[in-house]
Amino acid sequence: MKFTAIIEKGENGWFVGQVEEIPAALAQGKTIEEVKENLLDALKLILEVNKELTKKEYIDKSTFVEELELN
């Protein structure tokens, strides 16, 4: 799966970005490359935290876990 970064140059000269598909993933950087790296870090963190929160929701419940792949 690929994600889309929306990046703009702020008034202070820094670049600010957001992941279009996961709006909570926000980051900034001095360069476009830096903001892209920071967006990927933010995205990974959000996915990891969401995974842990979801696991806690299903503790002691009868569940099935299946892997999905989005092409």
- Structural domain of 52: 5-57
Total number of domains in the chain? 1
Q: Does a structural domain hold residue 66? A: no
| 69 within some domain | no
Q: Are 15 and 38 in contact (CB under 8 A)?
A: no
Long-range contacts of 53-57 (CB under 8 A, 24+ apart): none
Global pTM reads 0.86
pLDDT digits (tens, 9 = 90+) for 11-61: 999 999 999 999 999 999 999 999 999 999 999 999 999 999 999 999 989
Q: How many CB atoms lie within 10 A of CB 32?
A: 13
